[in-house]
């Protein structure tokens, strides 16, 4: 059964404000507005499982909530959306999971090409590459450079006896 209010009453005027769109001076939405918009990014948990959010966040688990917040971001305009999509953020959680898998596959391909190219390196460089590969379980598309440590200042003069 519908409730009918007197159009001159205070509650009727308040309800009219909430039913009127913003562009006409009310509080209701103007229709579909694309922004602000939430974007998602899938990440691997410490146990290796890839997730985009954590179901334990709904139960009040602090760790689950923190992980879920790290997988979500709100963009406010198209420029932020373009920047976020370049950084690996997606429109839906399902697309984020598919994008994560695609990224991992492409990293695996690049790492396989690097392993093939490593066959032509010197034995010392091959052993350094093997140490870097053994240090992590992830794909290494390139070997991290190890800086050469030198003393500061001018090198000492070497005197050659004649």
Residue 140 near residue 131 (C-beta atoms within 8 A): no
Q: Which long-range contacts (CB under 8 A, 24 or more apart) does 68-74 make?
A: 70/43, 71/40, 71/41, 71/42, 71/43, 71/96, 72/38, 72/39, 72/40, 72/41, 73/38, 73/39, 73/40, 73/41, 74/36, 74/37, 74/38, 74/39
- pLDDT tens per residue across all 162 residues of the chain: 788 999 999 999 999 999 999 888 999 988 888 999 999 999 999 998 999 999 999 899 999 999 999 999 999 999 999 999 999 999 999 999 999 999 999 999 999 999 999 999 999 999 999 999 999 988 899 998 888 888 888 878 888 887
**pTM here?**
0.72
pLDDT of residue 152: 86
């Amino acid at each position: 059964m519908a409730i009918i209010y007197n159009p001159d009453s205070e509650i009727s005027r308040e309800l009219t404000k909430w039913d009127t769109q913003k562009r006409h001076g009310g509080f209701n939405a103007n229709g579909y507005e694309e922004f602000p918009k939430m974007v998602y990014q899938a990440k691997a948990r410490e146990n290796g499982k890839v997730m985009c959010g954590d179901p334990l966040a709904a139960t009040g688990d602090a760790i689950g909530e923190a992980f879920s917040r790290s997988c979500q971001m709100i963009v406010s305009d198209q420029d932020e959306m373009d920047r976020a999509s370049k950084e690996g953020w997606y429109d839906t959680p399902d697309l984020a999971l598919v994008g994560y898998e695609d990224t991992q596959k492409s990293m695996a391909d690049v790492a396989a090409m690097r392993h093939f190219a490593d066959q032509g390196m010197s034995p010392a460089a091959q052993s350094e590459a093997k140490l870097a590969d053994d240090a992590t379980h992830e794909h290494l598309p390139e070997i991290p450079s190890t800086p050469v440590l030198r003393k500061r200042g001018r090198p000492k003069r070497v005197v050659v006896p004649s």
